[in-house]
């Protein structure tokens, strides 16, 4: 999923500022390398969330929402690919986020 698709999907359900912040969080996800330490201690998600909070520090009220949306993006992509197969229906980001909480 490229950044334009992410922005469009998120801005359909949230305001454009959130969509831009989610795109930034996704770029952090793509740029952060997974280390052997992360694999051993299962620490990658914590590092990713910490880095996201560090970079998006100017938006403290929106960081938790951005992290939730970023975590829901892979499920959204899978749902988009599987829509129509065997009766699968594509869910919205808000539906996916409600299931994850």
Q: Where are the domains of the chain?
A: 3-72
CB 87 within 8 A of CB 6: no
Interval 21-50: pLDDT, tens? 999 999 999 999 998 988 888 889 999 999
- Whole-prediction pTM value? 0.85
The residue that leads in pLDDT, 50 or 77, is 50
Share of the chain above pLDDT 70, in %: 100
């Amino acid at each position: 999923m490229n950044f334009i698709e992410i922005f469009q999907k998120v801005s359909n359900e949230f305001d454009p500022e959130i969509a831009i912040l989610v795109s930034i969080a996704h770029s952090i996800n793509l740029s952060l390398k997974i280390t052997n330490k992360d694999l051993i201690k299962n620490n990658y998600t914590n590092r990713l969330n910490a880095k996201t909070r560090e970079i998006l520090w100017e938006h403290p009220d929106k960081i938790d929402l951005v992290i939730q949306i970023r975590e829901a993006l892979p499920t959204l992509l899978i749902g988009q690919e599987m829509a129509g197969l065997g009766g699968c229906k594509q869910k919205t980001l808000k539906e996916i986020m409600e299931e994850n909480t």
